[in-house]
Structures are given as C-alpha cells and as structure tokens.
Amino acid sequence: MDLHRRLFAEWLGTAFLLAVVVGSGIMAERLSGGNTGVALMANALATGGGLIALILTFGGISGAHFNPAVTLAAALRRELSSRDASLYVLAQLAGAFCGVAAAHGMFGEALFFASQHVRTGPAQWWSEFIATFGLLAVIFGCSRSRPEAVPYAVASYIVGAYWFTASTSFANPAVTLARAASDTFAGIRPVDAPGFIVAQLVGAVTATLVFGWLLRDKAALSL
C-alpha cells in the first residue's frame, strides 16, 4: 500500500479511536447517574468494541498503529524508516485532535476546551509505564505466535487496563495530547500530559528491549 494511503488510514483510524474514547466518556458520564463504576464500564466496553473494529478495518492498510508509542517501537525494530515513522506520528496527532473535535460536535460541546482533570504523581506515572509496557508486550507476543488474533488481544488488554491501572491506561501519547483538549470524563490537564507521555515512551522502549530478548528477535537485538 502506498505511503499516502497508509497515512490517511492512520489519520482516520486515530480520529475514530479518539471519537470513541472521548464520545463514549461523555455519554457514559451523562447517563450513569453519578455511578462512576457504571460510566467507566461503558467507556471501557465502547473502547474495546471500537478497537476491535478499527484494528480489523485498518490493520491491512497501515498496520493500525494509531499510537506514537507503537510507531516508535516499530521504528526501533527497523520495521519502519525514521521518515515514515515521523509521518505516521504526525498523521496520528492530526487524527487524534480531529477525533476529539468530532466527538465534541456530536455532543454539542465546543470543538476544543482544555481539561481540568488532574492526573499526576508517581502512582499515575507508574500506571502509564505498566499500561504501555503491557500494551507493547501484547503486540509483540501475540504478533509473533497468533498474528490474526492481535485485534482481539489488544482490545481485550485495553478493556482490562482501563480498570487495573490507576490512570485508566492512556498508553498512547497522541491520545494523551488530544484528551488534554477535552474537559470531559476522559480528559487530562495539559500540564499533566508530559509526565504521562514520558512514562509511556519509557514503557514502550523497555518492552521493545525485553521482548527482543524474550522472543530471540534478531531485529531487536541489533538495536
């Protein structure tokens, strides 16, 4: 598939992913009558459903990264050139903000408005490290032995990670930045975004190294 189609797929897929995450968060908060457990369950199920559909839809075109941390890992493993990886990340960032605006439009909100949702401190960063390390672990392990099952593995992992991490598992720098522009259920204060992104990138690099060794992966060993 030629590069501009792959970039379009990353843009559109990431836009849909953010529309799902932010839109279902708004709907969940509005409908759940103050029970945050019900709201997060709806948000998690919607995100999981969306991820299965989006990875199955765009996986054959661009690989369905939708996530700069995943693209970074692919570049570290020489599966993507630095130039292509940079363009992937730009497409993901553009898509993420378009998706937030699309969700806000559906729910009658302003296109963008900075979040005031505080998410910071070591426990949150540790959560994002674990969340992103685990996401990459799932992608590496499952791609190796059961590539056809990756969409289900990733979506199932994220449903779990919404609940088992204290940060509800952003695990994605593009998602983190775009959610900073949404003062809704899924938001994060802009000032808290850098801490999340650093933890995510450290998690992604660590998983790349550990699974390079674990899976005896020559591409990774040459890192």
Contact 38, 195 (CB under 8 A): no
Contacting residue, 85, 100, 158, 201, with its own copies by CB under 8 A: 158
Shortest reach from residue 82's CB to its own copies, in Å = 25
Amino acid (1-letter code) at residue 171: A
**Binding positions for its own copies, 162-191, rule CB under 8 A:** 162-167
Q: Are 53 and 64 in contact (CB under 8 A)?
A: no
To its own copies, the closest distance from the beta carbon of 100 in angstroms equals 12
Map the footprint of its own copies across residues 76-115, applying CB under 8 A: 102-103, 105-108
Q: Mind giving me the DSSP string for 40-109?
A: HHHHHHHHHHHHHHHHHHHHHHH----SHHHHHHHHHTTSS-HHHHHHHHHHHHHHHHHHHHHHHHHTT-
When the beta carbons of 8 and 82 are compared against its own copies, the nearer one is 8
d(CA 60, CA 137): 21
Interface stretch with its own copies, choices 22-30, 65-73, 86-94, 187-195 (CB under 8 A): 22-30
Among 39-47, 67-75, 176-184, 193-201, the segment contacting its own copies (CB under 8 A): 39-47
Facing residues of 182 across strands?
A: 113
Cβ 26 vs Cβ 109: under 8 Å: yes
In angstroms, rounded to a whole number, what is the distance separating the alpha carbons of residues 82 and 85? 5
From 66, 88, 97, 157, residue interacting with its own copies (rule: CB under 8 A): 157
Least Cβ distance, residue 180 to its own copies (angstroms): 19
Q: Least Å distance between CB 189 and its own copies?
A: 19
Check residue 218 for interaction with its own copies (CB under 8 A).
no
Query: Which one of residues 152, 190, 202, 217 is an interface residue with its own copies (CB under 8 A)?
Result: 152
Nearer to its own copies, 82 or 129 (CB): 129
